[in-house]
Structure 1
Amino acid sequence: MNKILIVDASESDRRLMSGLLVKSGYEPIAVDSMEAAKEKVAELPPGAVVVAAMKFTGGTALELINWQKREGYKFPVIAIVDNLNPLEIADVMKDGGAVNIIQRLAIDKQLVETVGRYARPKNMVLQLDNTLITRHSKAFNEIIQSIEKVAATNANCIIFGESGMGKEQIARQIYLQSSRTQKPLIVLEAGGAALVGRHDPESDRSEMFNRIEGYFQEAKGGTLVIKNVQLLTFEKQSVLLHILEQEHPDVRIICTANSSLLKMVADETFRDNLFFILRQTSISVPPLRETTEDIPDIADYLLTRYAQKKLQPKKRLDASAIKALKLHPWPGNVRELKDVVLFAAFHTPNDAISASDLSFSQSGPETDSGFKLQDPAMEKAKIIAALEQAEGNKTMAAKLLKIDRSSLYIKMRQYGLK
């Protein structure tokens, strides 16, 4: 299991990062100071990664990087930035410094994926490709139909959905089924280092403008995928809008976003004119907790891939495991399902994985279970759906609805449910 050293003065962020990494099959070690970081670096095994804040108690990410160089350690360092100051980021990444950055506000979206690029895979860590995992639910079939319709046009598209639901894979499928497949596909993270400007003293335009325009030139005739578009700063939004309105580049843009983008447009923190240019059409991806019928298909795919990697017979889920997986709320969606299933496959000596072999993380961001009673007009339908998913088990249904058992009985009598 890969060890990941976290160096950050924020106790809450250390807990958040540790929980995300444990859930993804890593072994985090969290410290808050330069002195403690040096001690832990000396104990790290091959394949480890360091995640360090730009500033922490007694030091900075750059100082830790330079100390590693002097001492002969070569662990990749990922820097956590509080804001995308181009000069600070250029300083920490120059001359073989930090290998990448993570925006603090996007830790939950960027940490696991970024760490996965640099941690040496071993044991249960399985890096999946960009394949869209086939499943048989009505919701997935509707997404496949939407992909075909969007691909047949040149319309810009925003793919809405929670983290871990394969939005980038959907974007890639649109590209692969489009008429632009002979031209480049460029994928950018809106909150990442790739969109930090570079200084060009010969240009009268901003650093940010030159950088973003360069990606449009690189993707000419093809497709530009902007992941987590809600993380674009107002400066980046303005540059992107100017390029699209004034230069009309021959590039299709596909964005991925979570639901906060809609609120940002309403709150005027995301430019509405840019939003409507980017959302000429859209695709909504429901969370895994609303499409639990897909869990057996996804788990079977993951177990097949894992068996191929380990060169061993494929393990399977028994009925108790499938039931337990369907009852979990899945705040991390398919990405979390992968971690739970592969962790069980690695630690279970038997051919069949049962419910007792599954380990669900108790840490992670709070999410709407999909059944939580919030809208009285929807209560009856949600109660019925929760009871069906829990196969009539009132205790499990109440847990899904986030109410106690007695309240569930009151609601059932209120709506005439037996």
Structure 2
Amino acid sequence: MIDAKILVIDDNKSVLSALEILLQFEYKSVQTLFNPNQISSFPNMEQIDIVLLDMNFSAGVNTGNEGLYWLNEIKKKSPNTSVIMMTAYGAVDLAVKALKQGASDFVLKPWNNERLLTTVKSAHELRKSKEEIHKLKKKESNLKQVINADKNFIIGNSKALTSVLNLVRKVAKTDVNVLITGENGTGKELIARELHRLSSRKDEVFIGVDMGSIAENLFESELFGHTKGSFTDAKEDRSGKFEAAHQGTLFLDEMGNLSLQMQAKLLSSIQNKSVVRVGSNKSINVDIRLVCATNCNLEQMVADGLFREDLLYRINTIQIEVPPLRERGDDIMILADFFLKRFANKYDKPGLRTNSMAQEKLMEYSWPGNVRELQHTMERAVILSEGNVLKPTDFLLHSKPAQSMENGPATLDEMELQMISRALDQNDGNYSAAADQLGISRQTLYNKLKKKNK
């Protein structure tokens, strides 16, 4: 016996009796209604798996309109219930109309018992499929919420940050490609997630990819997917990041690390809005919002022949420059307090605070590692703290005073770093201006400072 609930609605009691007798040996629950007006007050309609519904209830009327009306009422109460329409007046156009309005099938009176049982069984399978799809969609929705849950926040109220967030709000509602630029540790991914959160795609998935971590021989497989057997370890078909982000947002970080060959492959997919899996010749259309990020000067890389100009035009319809922490003024202490509370709670050290001298030290530091460096600095200070007050000595910052060239011999690296420090001081910490003054690219300046801080 099939575990399903069936409801038969017909104004002919003989029909109700005949169907009840036929179906009760096949299905666990069979109920009948003589008056269709009882549909509106029928309890737990959403628990009914299949309804067999007559199409004509008034004497002398055979248009089927009554049945179509009650079909719509049932669907309002229980969209996933399978409804089989019954009538003694068969007409192709009426059957088509019923199916268009949500009926699962159409049965003519008098019916063939075996055929009717087959029809009801098919309707039950359809009901189960709809339930499964509903569960999968709910599960997918919950999964997307978990994936998109952002435990980090954009914190601060400086003029520099406010200007960026205003631009984000303007751009978010569109589907244009966005390029986010800025130094390492400034929070480019947070800006990308904010674009997604404020967009019409917010209920879909946000997929982030660190382009710098993908080996060149795996680039196509990771981004575009592959088919089973396309290479040695391809044991099954697999979708790539483009397909995974379909209807959502795809965030490609570290764009400046791509080789020219990888850039060409990426450009093709962005232009065509489609991908071809490795080992296949079938094109798969993808609908994504593309957001890219880099700490490199892509314009300079184009001039140096290291980045494709046509790809740059494709990814930066709108460019958002995230300001370095040293240009965000009081945001330094706002963020420091935020991280202090977070890590004090994490490491069970309630009541921690910084004294005024420590605050002054944090405000005067240039933060070459930006927000990421501040976060790590605060966490380290909390872990190593021994009292309730954090003092200047609790913060281990990596800045080193420049040596004078007159104080004995200096290495070439030390002399170079002195020149960089002077240029930064003379340009109020503006990396681009300092790089121009020194006659090098901003990326070269970043790389030399990274070497200094290792």
- Relative to the length of structure 1, the TM-score reads 0.53
Aligned to 2:196: 175
In 2, Cα distance between the equivalents of 1:266 and 1:326? 37
Q: Secondary structure at the match of 1:180?
A: coil
Does the aligned pair in 1 maintain the 2:179–2:316 contact within 8 Å?
yes
Does the aligned pair in 1 maintain the 2:219–2:262 contact within 8 Å?
no
How far is the alpha carbon of 1:155 from its aligned partner? 0.9
In 1, Cα distance between the equivalents of 2:372 and 2:228? 43
In 1, Cα distance between the equivalents of 2:332 and 2:262? 38
Aligned to 1:337: 374
Letter in 2 for 1:354: K
Deviations 1:190-231 (A, max 9, x none): 111375344758669xx9xx99x8321221111100011111
Q: Secondary structure at the match of 2:212?
A: coil
1:237 to 263, 276, 291: 263
Alignment of structure 1 residues 207-356 onto 2, 5 Å: 214-247=240-273, 249-356=286-393
Alignment of structure 1 residues 113-124 onto 2, 5 Å: none
Aligned to 2:219: 196
Aligned to 1:372: 425
Letter in 1 for 2:181: F
Letter in 2 for 1:238: A
In 1, Cα distance between the equivalents of 2:391 and 2:427? 34
**CA 1:132/1:143 → structure 2, altered by over 3 Å: closer, same or farther?**
farther
How far is the alpha carbon of 1:291 from its aligned partner? 1.7
Letter in 2 for 1:260: N
In 1, Cα distance between the equivalents of 2:380 and 2:228? 51
Aligned to 1:103: none
In 1, Cα distance between the equivalents of 2:386 and 2:319? 44
How far is the alpha carbon of 1:302 from its aligned partner? 0.3
Q: Which has the higher contact order (CA 8 A, sep 6+)?
A: 1
In 1, Cα distance between the equivalents of 2:240 and 2:379? 40
Alignment of structure 1 residues 7-156 onto 2, 5 Å: 130-156=151-177
In 1, Cα distance between the equivalents of 2:251 and 2:381? 34
Letter in 2 for 1:137: S
Q: Secondary structure at the match of 2:376?
A: helix
How far is the alpha carbon of 1:241 from its aligned partner? 0.7
CA RMSD of aligned residues (A): 3.2
In 2, Cα distance between the equivalents of 1:201 and 1:235? 24
Does the aligned pair in 2 maintain the 1:137–1:293 contact within 8 Å?
yes
Deviations 1:53-83 (A, max 9, x none): xxxxxxxxxxxxxxxxxxxxxxxxxxxxxxx
In 2, Cα distance between the equivalents of 1:321 and 1:129? 30
How far is the alpha carbon of 1:259 from its aligned partner? 3.5
Q: Secondary structure at the match of 2:330?
A: helix
1:357 to 376, 379, 394: 394
In 1, Cα distance between the equivalents of 2:251 and 2:351? 35
Larger Rg: 2
Does the aligned pair in 1 maintain the 2:333–2:363 contact within 8 Å?
no
Does the aligned pair in 2 maintain the 1:143–1:285 contact within 8 Å?
yes
In 2, Cα distance between the equivalents of 1:369 and 1:342? 31
Does the aligned pair in 1 maintain the 2:273–2:287 contact within 8 Å?
no
Does the aligned pair in 1 maintain the 2:347–2:383 contact within 8 Å?
no
Q: Secondary structure at the match of 2:251?
A: strand
In 1, Cα distance between the equivalents of 2:258 and 2:393? 43
Q: Secondary structure at the match of 2:357?
A: helix
**CA 1:308/1:227 → structure 2, altered by over 3 Å: closer, same or farther?**
same
Does the aligned pair in 2 maintain the 1:237–1:274 contact within 8 Å?
yes
Does the aligned pair in 2 maintain the 1:229–1:255 contact within 8 Å?
yes
**CA 1:369/1:230 → structure 2, altered by over 3 Å: closer, same or farther?**
farther
**CA 1:374/1:330 → structure 2, altered by over 3 Å: closer, same or farther?**
closer
Does the aligned pair in 1 maintain the 2:344–2:382 contact within 8 Å?
no
2:187 to 152, 166, 170: 166
Deviations 1:16-68 (A, max 9, x none): xxxxxxxxxxxxxxxxxxxxxxxxxxxxxxxxxxxxxxxxxxxxxxxxxxxxx
Letter in 1 for 2:212: G
**CA 1:129/1:146 → structure 2, altered by over 3 Å: closer, same or farther?**
same
In 2, Cα distance between the equivalents of 1:239 and 1:157? 19
Does the aligned pair in 2 maintain the 1:287–1:333 contact within 8 Å?
yes
How far is the alpha carbon of 1:295 from its aligned partner? 0.8
**CA 1:143/1:268 → structure 2, altered by over 3 Å: closer, same or farther?**
same
How far is the alpha carbon of 1:311 from its aligned partner? 2.9
Does the aligned pair in 2 maintain the 1:191–1:231 contact within 8 Å?
yes
How far is the alpha carbon of 1:331 from its aligned partner? 1.4
Consecutive unaligned residues in structure 1, runs of 5 or more = 1-127, 383-418
Aligned to 1:390: none
In 1, Cα distance between the equivalents of 2:256 and 2:387? 44
**CA 1:131/1:369 → structure 2, altered by over 3 Å: closer, same or farther?**
farther
How far is the alpha carbon of 1:246 from its aligned partner? 2.5
Deviations 1:320-361 (A, max 9, x none): 111111221211111111122222222222222121221113
Letter in 2 for 1:227: D
Q: Secondary structure at the match of 2:240?
A: helix
Does the aligned pair in 1 maintain the 2:249–2:289 contact within 8 Å?
yes
Does the aligned pair in 1 maintain the 2:169–2:198 contact within 8 Å?
yes
In 2, Cα distance between the equivalents of 1:129 and 1:302? 16
